[in-house]
């Protein structure tokens, strides 16, 4: 039944709606892809001094990852299609059709996409992210460590989702390759430093 492919397609389109870019436009701010780390995401909006907008970006990006996956999951779609829907949301966020295919790093969107699996996994992911952020000061490192940890956690308590979660992790890590290079060269700015990293 090819109606099942409607879910990944709609998820891709919803994922393509970049809340960071739209909210920056709404508040007459420059495109986030020209500011700071040039990432249209919650952290970069925060970095540029817009805490409340950053919170909205985070919530919207989580919800747009969560909604299609949650519906697909609730309708009892086969695991393959639920997984494809989750991946499609994140691909939409990273390569948005509405914004020249230049999108974000999928952290908040992937968190939303795995939320329907259970609050145990999402809670653990948020805790991991916060602990690494507090210990290191690097938001990008927090995201990378959380992405590496996600498939390990899920393999422990719901192994049937390991492959799907690992796919999201790979996408997140790939989207952080510039951050990884900067971390390696010790040029990555910490979250509470105002320095812009032009790259």
d(CA 137, CA 155): 28
Specify the stretch interacting with ligand NKO by CB under 6 A; choose among 7-15, 38-46, 69-77, 92-100.
38-46
CB 133 within 8 A of CB 146: no
Distances (CA, A) of 149 to 86, 124, 145: 18, 9, 6
Question: From the CB of 3, what's the least distance to ligand NKO, in Å?
Answer: 27
d(CA 177, CA 173): 7
Angle at 62 between CA 148 and CA 88, to 5 degrees: 70
Q: Which of 44, 48, 85, 89 binds ligand NKO (CB under 6 A)?
A: 44
Sequence-separated (6 or more) residues with CB below 8 Å from residue 52:
none
30-37 long-range CB contacts below 8 Å, 24 or more apart? 33/102, 35/196, 36/196, 36/197, 37/179, 37/189, 37/197, 37/199
Q: Smaller CB distance to ligand NKO: residue 12 or 104?
A: 104
CB 38 within 8 A of CB 31: no
**Residue with smallest beta-carbon separation from ligand NKO:** 41
Hey, which residues between 125 and 184 contact ligand NKO (CB under 6 A)?
A: 125-126, 129, 139-140, 143, 146-147, 150, 165, 168-169, 172, 179
* Measured torsion, CA atoms of residues 22, 27, 29, 30, in degrees rounded to the nearest 10: 20
Question: From the CB of 120, what's the least distance to ligand NKO, in Å?
Answer: 13
Question: From the CB of 82, what's the least distance to ligand NKO, in Å?
Answer: 14
Q: Smaller CB distance to ligand NKO: residue 1 or 34?
A: 34
H/E run at residue 14: helix 6-15
Hey, which residues between 14 and 33 contact ligand NKO (CB under 6 A)?
A: none
Instruction: Report the chain's C-alpha Rg in angstroms.
Output: 16
Q: Smaller CB distance to ligand NKO: residue 10 or 47?
A: 47
Q: Smaller CB distance to ligand NKO: residue 14 or 37?
A: 37
Q: Smaller CB distance to ligand NKO: residue 82 or 147?
A: 147
Hey, which residues between 51 and 80 contact ligand NKO (CB under 6 A)?
A: 58
Q: Is 84 in the site for ligand NKO (CB under 6 A)?
A: no
Residues that bind ligand NKO (CB under 6 A): 37, 39, 41-44, 58, 105, 107-108, 110-111, 114, 125-126, 129, 139-140, 143, 146-147, 150, 165, 168-169, 172, 179
């Amino acid at each position: 039944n090819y109606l099942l492919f409607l879910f990944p397609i709609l998820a891709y389109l919803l994922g393509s709606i970049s809340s960071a870019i739209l909210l920056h436009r709404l508040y007459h701010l420059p495109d986030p892809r020209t500011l700071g780390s040039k990432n249209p995401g919650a952290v970069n909006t925060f970095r540029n001094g817009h805490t409340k907008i950053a919170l909205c970006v985070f919530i919207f990006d989580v919800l747009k990852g969560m909604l299609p996956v949650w519906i697909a999951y609730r309708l009892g779609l086969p695991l393959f299609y639920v997984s494809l829907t989750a991946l499609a949301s994140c691909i939409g966020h990273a390569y948005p059709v509405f914004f020249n295919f230049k999108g974000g790093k999928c952290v908040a969107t992937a968190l939303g996409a795995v939320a329907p699996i259970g609050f145990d996994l999402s809670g653990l992911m948020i805790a991991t992210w916060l602990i690494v952020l507090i210990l290191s000061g690097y938001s990008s490192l927090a995201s990378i460590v959380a992405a590496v940890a996600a498939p390990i956690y899920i393999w422990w308590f719901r192994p049937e989702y390991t492959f799907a979660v690992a796919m999201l992790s790979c996408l997140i890590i790939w989207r952080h390759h510039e951050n990884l290079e900067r971390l390696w060269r010790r040029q990555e700015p910490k979250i509470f430093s105002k320095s812009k990293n032009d790259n």
